[in-house]
Structure formats: C-alpha cells, structure tokens
C-alpha cells in the first residue's frame, strides 16, 4: 500500500528552500543471501528501520511493514518509529546517532529522505541513501554494502553542510540498529596488556551499557572494537540468533546499547565523541568509520565464518595471498644483539624451515641509541656502533642464509631522548603548560599535522627505497595518546583524536599505493590494535605479547570470533616453559605460525619436532589459512579446547585438540568434527608427534567417512595437563 504525503524539505542545492515536495512511502530492501534489512520512508518523509532478520521469501510481504513501532506506556500508539539516523533535539528521547549544533546555535536535526540508489558492486550491492534536514542545509548520506554470499553488511555515513559558518558535531554514529527480542545478551571482549580478547557475557537491562575506549592510539588496549549480541538467548556456538558487529576505527570508539522504555534495543556504533566536539566547515564532509556486521540464525560459529570469509575476500590486505612463517628475535635477544648474532639467527631460521627472519626493536638511533626503551624512537637510522654494515649487511646475510628479512618499526612515536624531538618538539602531542607524563617513556607524534604525516611516510618510504630487500614490516604502537594537546590544531583541539587517526590512514594509504606488495604486521604492545580499517593496510596482527600457550588458547579463541586465522599471528616462545615445545607449537599452529625463541635452548629432538611442525603447517595452509574454521570445544566451558579447519574443497582438514588442566578421572568425550563432506573418505593421521613417538589415537592410520568423523568423532582428548593432539585428514 502506498501513501502520498506532502512534506516540506530543502531540495536541489543545499541551502535553498524549495516549494512543497511530495514524498511517498517506500521500502528500501538491503539483502544478503540469508538476511534482510528493510528501511521504510514513512508518510512523514523520514526514514525508519522496519525489519532486520532472516531473509523474507516474498517481496509482497514488504508492504505489511509499518514504521510505527513505538507504543507509549499508556497503551496508545505514538507516531514514532525506529529512525535510521536519529538526530539530536527531535521528538526521540533516546540516544541519537547524530548531534549537530548548527551555526546559529540550534541543537536539533530532523532528517528527511531525499533519494536512494542501489547498484551492483564486487561481491554484492551498494545502497546510498541521501537524507536532508528540512530547516538547515545539512545532508547525511548513509551507505550500505551488502555482501551476498558472506552475509556481511558494512555501513558508514557522510555528513556535509552548506551553512554559512561551521557547525559542531558532538555525535556522529556510523550506524544505529534496532532489535526487538525477549532478552538481549551482550558478549564483550575486554583486554589489557597480555590479556587480550577476554570474553564475558551479560544480559542487557533497561538503560545503557557502553563499551568504549579513550586511549587515542593503542586504542583497543582495554576494550576491543567488536561485540556479539545474543537475541532472546545468550550467545551460543551452534544455535540462536546472534549479531556480530565491529567498527573499523583505529582510535577511540563507542558502542552504546540502550534498552528503551518498551524493551526494544538500540545499538549505536560510533567514534567515541569524548573530548571530540568536531568543527565541520561549510562544504567539508565528515566520513564516519565503517561498521561491519553479520546476523546469524545458527549461532556465533556461523557468524564468525561469515566474517572470516568476508575478510579474506574483501577487507584484509592480501587476504587471498599466502603468508610467511618467521623467526623473530624479541623474546630471545631483546635489545642485545649485533650483526653477527643476527646473521647466526638467520641461519637458524633457515634451519628451522621458516620463510623469514624478523628483526625487532633496538636497531636504530645514534646520538641516542636504542639500548632500551628510554631513547631513540624517531631516529630511524641504524645504530652504526651496533650494526656497522647497516641494513644492507643484514639483508645480505638473510639472502646468504636463504630467508627473507623483516624489520620492526614504531614510526608514530618519539622518545624525548631523540634527535627528532630535539628538532621538532612541536611534532609531539603534549600540553604546552603542564608537566608531561609518559607511557613507556615516549610521546605520540601528532598525525593530525600533515608535515608529521609526511615525515612518517618518508621513514617507511626511505627504508624501502634504500633497502628494497626488506620484505616485511612489524609496525608497533606502544603508547596511548598522553597529554592530549596538538600544537598544530591550536584552538581546534576537538579534532585531535579523530584527525590523528585519519592522519595515520593517510600515511598507510600512501604506503599501500607506493609499496603495494609489502606485507605488514599490525602490532600494538600486543593486540591493542585489531580493527578492520587498519587491516586494509596490514596483512595480519599480533594478538598478544602473552605467548603462554594456555593463555593463548583463550586469546586466540576470542579473536577467532571476528578474524580469520590468516590475520592472527601466533609465535612459539619460552613463555610457560612447563608446557612442552609440542604444546606451545601446536597452539601457535592454529594461526599464522612464527617462532620467537632461542633455538639453541631447544634439544636436538625438540628442534627436529619444530622443523616437522613448520613443514606440516605449510602443507596445511589450504585448510588453516584459507579454509573454513569450526570452533568445536570451548576452553571457557571445560578443561579442553578443540577447533578444526577444512579446505574449501573439503579434501583436507586438520583437527587441533588441547587438554588444559583436566580433572581427576574426568569424562572425556570424543571430538565431533564439522564441515567435512559426509560422503568423502578421509585418511586419519596424527601429526606433530615428537620424534620417535607413535600415535595412541584409535583412528590413526585408518580411512573413515566424513559422516563418521562428524557424528561419532575422534578421541583426541587426554587426562594429561597441557597435552595436544593434531590430526590431519586427507580425502582418499
Ligand atoms: C611490543 C610488541 O608487542 C613486542 O612484540 C615487541 O615488538 C616490543 N613491543 C618491542 O618494543
């Protein structure tokens, strides 16, 4: 049914009021294979969400939707709905998506539908919807990309105006989504150094729950920019409706979950407006970050697979290309190395069978050499005394050893003890009139300043131009923004948190443009940077400095909800030596495998085991890196953990099973695999065994159907502390 109504809106060029304009109700359907998001332009000319859920079978049913969903507590229906991009100061009493103070001081915004357009793009459709205020020349364009096969949506918004003077933005959401369910359960991912991706769940009650950070850079140190929402019931792996959402923003973010007076839930995903009243000049466009989300009707496992698959295809840098295994030196040598030590490590890397040697922190600075974390950041020249042959000698040594060479940098930072700070103190973010406080003895460079952006770009560009043999960067960021004042922005300090992050993106964009083939690891004092905007520029991220394999089981389990294994770096180190080298390596083998350990401290047998494990991992890349992941047994629910990966053609699979601290005489259940072809016959083989050890797995060496493996399972758990079992399945 269509209604024709008359509303007054501004049309044509911003700023000129047109005559009365006709608007008719209209549904805008944004679909993936299994999900529909339906928006409705109502009789009043405004845009409302009328449906978000399981895909509808009949187009004609769209006519049954009504935007008026909001009952008043006295039972009467008030003409109010779920406005898609609710403005501040309107008749809505809850948290708005957009808050604008117009040039004349008016704090209200009413957005009316102007137009929409849907077109095919790679992998799906893009819908752009233009809304405009009816009293001020302010326009909002909401973009939705729907990835059909992966069931993933991403949405972002552009805000623009033609008022005579600047307007001030104090809320600028990427999106606002509404839900009506009997109950809501929020799973969040809290974090700290060495404690990343810790999952906890709580029911949402009337009022607001906020997940946010105010750290500036190293921004996800205390809370990660993603969440899972269980509708009606708590999030579970295999069943129930769940939303997985994540914001692509490498700075302060804020998710607001508000259960309103009638028990509906509003979810607002945004840059955190904390200390960020943004001045928007006439004709300038404010673009929000992308909010990426998927709705699964089969539990969170399916939702994770949607995101992992989507990320590899459309978001992660080089998502479809292979990854390099590596040997890093940070946990082994710290700052104490020289050319000979490094050259020796490169030979060891080759002997281990990894692809690359990665030189970590401590190679730069001359006036203030980087002997510890007190000096040198900013001075990206090799310390001549320590490495007299410079980087060329190192790349040469790597070539001779037969491995690639990667390099650690932290180019967004400066130590006050550096030549850079002596030359450009005003490039560092710090107060002009207060005592400076430091985090890890360093300051954050002011990336809102284009000159500083240029400097940071040139650090990378120069290194690569002078040393084209550098095959990889580990890009670190160890400090949050402290002393939050930009000497460059002066009276526009409200822009700092936001323009700083945009400045980082400018730099990364230039690097990607001019050096498109350099893989980079995103690192931030562990895993404090883990978002999908940064991952457009980085091939992978460092999950945590905590490489104790038991802790890693939880950390990797947490991150796997949002990211593919291909994006997650895991290294074998000496953390928790009471765990065997096999257990440590098997845990790291679930992600992008690397080592950061003194190989000399390993016995001949252990080293041989590691070589085999590296080789096995390389052969299983089609499953672990590019296949489909199934989380089978959660470490949060018992004393074990298991996942399996299946290659896309379902011909190769691998099961990882771990015993953490089993109880005395604990009942051990077989692990039922998922994702196999039930009619395919698989040869079962336990791999990653210590030299001389044979498998005690009942099915080892047998050929079994996928059906059996999924219905009956594999007895892969044991009663022993920190034991692991890796099983390869190859179709016959
Ligand atoms: C923090 C990182 O997480 C570590 O891996 C290491 O690179 C250090 N920084 C170096 O300072």
Nearest atom, ligand 1, residue 523 CA = 3
Q: What is the mean pLDDT of residues 682-708?
A: 98
Q: What is the mean pLDDT of residues 59-66?
A: 94
Residue 445 vs residues 410, 420, 454: alpha-carbon distances, Å: 11, 10, 12
Nearest CA, atom 10, ligand 1: 361
* Sheet strands (E) in 420-506: 443-444, 470-475
Residue 76 has pLDDT above 90, yes or no: no
Ligand 1: atom nearest CA of 373 is 11
Residue with tokens 């990320």: 311
pLDDT of residue 20: 32
Say how many Å lie between the CA of residue 597 and the centre of ligand 1. Answer: 14
Atom of ligand 1 nearest to the CA of 542: 3
Mean pLDDT score, 541-554: 98
Structure tokens at 256: 């607001």
pLDDT band at 17 (very low <50, low <70, confident <90, very high): very low
Task: List ligand 1's pocket residues with C-beta within 6 A.
Answer: 330, 360-361, 408, 476, 478, 523, 525-526, 542, 545
**H or E, element range at 132:** strand 124-133
Q: Strands, E, within 180-314: which ranges?
A: 184-190, 198-203, 207-212, 223-231, 241-248, 253-259, 265-271, 278-280, 285-287, 290-296
**CA-to-CA distance for 682 and 200, rounded, in angstroms?**
37
Residue among 544, 591, 545 nearest 564 (CA): 591
Q: How remote is the CA of residue 572 from the centroid of ligand 1, in Å?
A: 15
In this predicted model, what pLDDT tens digit does every residue of 499-540 receive, in sequence order?
A: 999 999 999 999 999 999 999 999 999 999 999 999 999 999
Distance between CA 708 and CA 696 in Å, rounded?
A: 19
Give the pLDDT confidence of 150-193 residue by residue, as tens digits: 999 999 999 999 999 999 999 999 999 999 999 999 999 999 99
453-501 confidence digits (pLDDT tens): 999 999 999 999 999 999 999 999 999 999 999 999 999 999 999 999 9
Backbone region of residue 350 per phi and psi (left: phi > 0; alpha: psi in -120 to 50; beta: other values): alpha
Distance 610 CA to ligand 1 centre (A): 23
DSSP state of 680: S
Q: What are the φ/ψ torsions at residue 399 (nearest 5 degrees)?
A: -60, -45
How high is the pLDDT of residue 591?
98
Q: Which of 478, 530, 542, 597 is the pocket-test mutation for ligand 1 (most atoms within 8 Å of CB)?
A: 478
Percent of the chain with pLDDT over 70: 95
Atom of ligand 1 nearest to the CA of 526: 3
Contacts of 379 (CB under 8 A, 6+ apart): 364, 365, 366, 367, 368, 418, 419, 420
Listed residue (706, 691, 603) closest to 655, CA to CA: 706
DSSP character string of 39-67: EEE-TTS-EEEEEEEEPPS-GGGGGG--S
End-to-end CA distance of the chain: 58
**Candidates 192, 195, 330: which one to mutate for ligand 1, based on the most atoms within 8 Å of Cβ?**
330
Nearest CA to ligand 1 atom 4: 525
Tokens 């050096």 identify what position? 515
Measured from the Cα of 408, ligand 1's closest atom is: 7
């Amino acid at each position: 049914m269509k209604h024709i109504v008359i509303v007054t809106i501004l049309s044509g060029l911003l700023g000129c009021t047109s005559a009365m304009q006709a608007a008719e109700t209209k549904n805008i359907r944004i679909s993936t294979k299994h999900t529909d998001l339906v928006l409705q332009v109502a009789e009043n000319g405004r845009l409302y969400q009328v449906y978000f859920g399981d895909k509808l079978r009949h187009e004609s049913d769209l006519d049954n939707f009504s935007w008026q969903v909001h009952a008043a507590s006295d039972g009467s229906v008030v003409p109010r709905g779920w406005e898609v991009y609710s403005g501040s100061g309107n008749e809505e009493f809850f948290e708005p998506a957009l808050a604008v103070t117009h040039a004349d001081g008016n704090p209200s915004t009413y957005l009316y539908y102007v137009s929409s357009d849907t077109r095919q793009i790679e992998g799906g459709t893009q819908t752009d919807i233009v809304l405009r205020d009816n009293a001020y020349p302010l326009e909002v364009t909401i973009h939705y990309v729907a990835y059909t096969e992966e069931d993933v949506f991403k949405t972002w918004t552009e805000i623009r105006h033609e008022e005579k003077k600047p307007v001030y933005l104090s809320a600028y959401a990427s999106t606002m989504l509404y839900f009506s369910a009997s109950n809501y359960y929020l799973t969040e991912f809290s974090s700290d150094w060495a404690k990343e991706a810790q999952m906890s769940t709580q029911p949402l009650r009337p009022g607001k729950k906020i997940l946010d950070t105010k750290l500036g850079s190293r921004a996800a140190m205390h809370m990660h920019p993603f969440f899972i929402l269980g509708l009606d019931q708590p999030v579970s792996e295999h069943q129930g409706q769940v939303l997985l959402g994540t914001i692509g923003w490498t700075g302060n973010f804020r998710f607001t979950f508000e259960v309103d007076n009638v028990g509906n839930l509003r979810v607002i995903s945004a840059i955190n407006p904390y200390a960020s009243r943004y001045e928007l000049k006439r004709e300038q466009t404010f673009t929000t970050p992308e909010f990426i989300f998927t709705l699964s009707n089969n539990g969170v496992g399916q939702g994770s697979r949607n995101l992992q698959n989507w990320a590899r295809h459309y978001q992660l840098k080089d998502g479809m290309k292979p990854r390099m295994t590596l040997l890093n030196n940070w946990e082994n040598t710290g700052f104490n190395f020289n050319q000979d030590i490094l050259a020796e490590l490169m030979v060891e890397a080759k002997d281990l069978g990894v692809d690359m040697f990665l030189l970590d922190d401590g190679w730069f600075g001359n006036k203030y050499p980087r002997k510890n974390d007190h000096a040198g950041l900013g001075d990206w020249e090799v310390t001549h005394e320590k490495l007299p042959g410079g980087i060329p000698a190192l790349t040469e040594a790597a070539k001779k050893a037969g491995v690639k060479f990667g390099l650690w940098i932290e180019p967004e930072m400066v130590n006050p003890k550096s030549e850079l700070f002596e030359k450009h103190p005003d490039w560092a973010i710090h107060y002009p009139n207060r005592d400076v406080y430091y985090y890890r003895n360093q300051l954050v460079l002011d990336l809102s300043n284009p000159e500083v952006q240029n400097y940071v770009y040139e650090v990378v560009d120069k290194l690569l131009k002078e040393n084209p043999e550098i095959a990889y960067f580990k890009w670190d960021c160890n400090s949050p923004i402290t002393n939050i004042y930009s000497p460059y922005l002066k009276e526009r300090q409200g822009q700092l948190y936001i323009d700083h992050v945009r400045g980082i993106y400018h730099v990364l964009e230039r690097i990607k443009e001019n050096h498109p083939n350099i893989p980079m690891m995103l690192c931030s004092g562990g895993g404090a940077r883990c978002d999908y905007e940064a991952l457009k520029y980085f091939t992978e991220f460092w999950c945590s400095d905590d490489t104790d394999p038991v802790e890693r089981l939880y950390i990797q389990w947490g991150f796997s909800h949002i990211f593919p294994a291909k994006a997650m770096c895991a290294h074998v180190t000496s953390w928790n030596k009471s765990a065997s080298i096999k257990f440590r390596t098997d845990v790291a083998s679930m992600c992008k495998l690397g080592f950061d350990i003194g190989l000399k401290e390993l016995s001949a047998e252990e080293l041989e085991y590691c070589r085999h494990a590296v080789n096995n991992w390389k052969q299983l890349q089609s499953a672990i890196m590019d296949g489909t992941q199934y989380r089978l047994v959660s470490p949060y629910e018992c004393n074990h953990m298991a996942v399996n990966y299946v290659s896309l053609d379902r011909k190769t699979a691998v099961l990882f099973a771990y015993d953490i601290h089993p109880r005395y005489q604990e009942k051990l259940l077989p692990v039922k695999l998922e994702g196999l072809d039930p009619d395919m016959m698989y040869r079962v083989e336990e791999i990653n065994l210590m030299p001389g050890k044979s498998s005690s797995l009942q099915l080892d060496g047998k050929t079994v159907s996928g059906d059996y493996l999924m219905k009956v399972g594999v007895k892969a758990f044991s009663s022993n502390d920190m034991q692991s079992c890796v099983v390869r399945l190859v179709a016959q």
